[in-house]
Amino acid sequence: MKKSTLILSLCLFGATFTYTDLSAQNNSQSFESNPVTKKFILLPVKTGATKTWITVNVEGVWQHEFEIELAPENPDFYATLEVGQWKGKNLVLTAESVVPGSKWLSLIQTSDQMSDENLVYREDLRPQFHFAPRRGWTNDPNGLVYYKGTYHLFFQHNPYGTSWGNMTWGHAVSTDLFHWNEMPDAVIPDKNGVVFSGSAVVDWNNTSGLQTKPVKDNTGKITNPPLVAFYTSTLANRGKGKSSQSMVYSLDEGKSWIKYPGNPIIPHIIAENRDPKVFWYEDKQNPNNSKWTMALYMDGEDYALFTSENLIQWNKICDIKNLGCSECPDMFELPVDGNKQKSRWVFWGGNGKYLIGNFDGKEFKIESGPFTSKYGGNDYAAQSYSDIPANDGRRIQFSWMQGGEYPNMPFNQQFTVPRNMTLCTTPDGIRLFMEPAKEIEKLRISNPITFSSTLEGSDKPIQVPGIKGELFDIEIQFDLKSTNVSDTNNVLHTEIFGQKIAYNLGTQTIDLSGIKAPLAPVNNQIKLRLLIDRTSIELFANDGIIAIAKCFVNKDKVPCNFTISGNKDLADVQLVA
């Protein structure tokens, strides 16, 4: 029997869209836009539907491919595929294997707007002051860079579904770290593979030469430096390819990104070798020895440092071993107790373990560690911003709140709030502290609730009056009384939305719904700061020496019901919310 092909053409506003049904041959179907006239193609997604590979071809040339749960009908949401860079050209999307009877071709939309504009950010479980993508999956924060008043946040993104896959760099921008405008995806997969984690910098002196038309002011400073980002290319050929390091750059202040034609800039070395974190090392003694440095995860618990004069050619200089974790390195210098003349370098790994030491541009010399400042399974793959202005001087970090649940939502996963990190001297030595970035204070209501009381007993919880709603920034201070606090029965309790926090004075541990961390009193006080959003709670203890991030879903609609309890001779409590 002769196999047939059905072609349906539709002319709309001067553009022709052609749907080609090849299902009688090989279960593949194609969507053709000839020419491309809109910025986006919106693809129908149904969570749980059979996955299929879609390839993107422009003027007959393969561009990239991705796997998607195509909705045969009644899509849960629309995924955004940016095609504006190919306006005026012929574009063909080919789905390799389509469920018989699927109506996905008739559900496709073209638009100059990203998908679901009338629905996005209005979902029941949408975090309100924590970043989560408009649509799809996210994990590690990437490419955190500040430039000309704008914080750029890139992130591991699956634009085509709510589970991990199709790793791409999503992109959002903000002027205050809390109100974000999500842009089209910045870096998409290519022949080298999908786009894993990495970092970004401003090449102020155009050492890379990527800005071919530099403009200088009257002091000789380049006013249009390139922004350069580094990431791991991996899993080419649908999972068969090895990891290598690649680069993209922007000549328009981060609005669009160009793949470096010589990618990869660092070929595969060993095993995983991924997650490049790049920064400028300033040699204070000999400025001529200043250079770019890259921290790179290698394998097991091993990392390495590389240096470069131009961001393109890199040479390995040393190894850093036995951090106690893997993946996602970060490395930065901080003053100790605010004293810039007494600084230390911090080397950071994926699960939040860190080393403290010194770096001379050639070798990282470990002084102490590894230490832990973050606890619990919902805090991973943190990265800090590059190029924060010197007059600000902060080291601001985001972390992925991995493992959260967002039932029936068209997005999946969120980030912590931005945190400011400092090094402070403690009785145990120099340690890393982290607290919410100060910009969060602008979100507070003008008339905070204040409360103070003496505890009435473990069996008599105090209901804190006036706390209603679902979004909170609460500061609690327990002033311990001069009693025998070594008894393990001496426990301070706090509960909100069913999330229980217990501080045991006998064991000197804090417990947030099963996540435990050591915490010693300071000046006979325990201070807690709680940030509560729709799907998460973050706890910072004693000015941030301990941080715990926990995701939760209030499935049973437990009311706020904020209570504090403990033995009445144990402590006095003060609260601001």
Sequence-distant contacts of 460-468: CB under 8 A, at least 24 apart: 460/565, 461/493, 461/495, 461/563, 461/564, 461/565, 462/563, 462/564, 462/565, 462/573, 463/561, 463/562, 463/563, 464/562, 464/563, 464/564, 464/575, 464/577, 467/496, 467/560, 467/562, 467/577, 468/560
Cβ burial of 402 (10 Å; 0-12, 13-18, 19+) is: middle
Nearest to 436 by CA among 530, 314, 353: 530
Contact 494, 501 (CB under 8 A): yes
CB neighbours of residue 261 within 10 Å: 6
Question: Hey, which residues does 316 pair with through a beta bridge?
Answer: 306
The single residue listed with the structure tokens 């991924």 is 274
Q: Which two tokens stand for residue 344?
A: 């230390």
HSE value, Cβ hemisphere, 13 Å, CA-based, for 219: 4
The single residue listed with the structure tokens 């390799």 is 96
Contact 98, 70 (CB under 8 A): yes
Contact 237, 206 (CB under 8 A): no
CB neighbours of residue 244 within 10 Å: 20
Nearest to 540 by CA among 561, 519, 564: 519
Q: What does the DSSP 8-state code read for residue 522?
A: B
Q: Which amino acid is at 490?
A: N
**Would you please indicate which residues are annotated as catalytic (active-site) residues?**
140
Question: Hey, which residues does 498 pair with through a beta bridge?
Answer: none
Q: Measured between alpha carbons, how far is 351 from 185 in angstroms, rounded to an integer?
A: 26
What SS3 class is residue 49?
coil
Question: Hey, which residues does 258 pair with through a beta bridge?
Answer: 249
Q: Measured between alpha carbons, how far is 337 from 7 in angstroms, rounded to an integer?
A: 70
The strands making up 291-299's β-sheet, listed across from edge to edge, are: 274-281, 291-299, 302-308, 315-320
Q: Measured between alpha carbons, how far is 72 from 50 in angstroms, rounded to an integer?
A: 9
Sign of CA dihedral 384, 420, 170, 208: negative
The single residue listed with the structure tokens 């294997």 is 97
Nearest to 133 by CA among 535, 552, 413, 536: 413
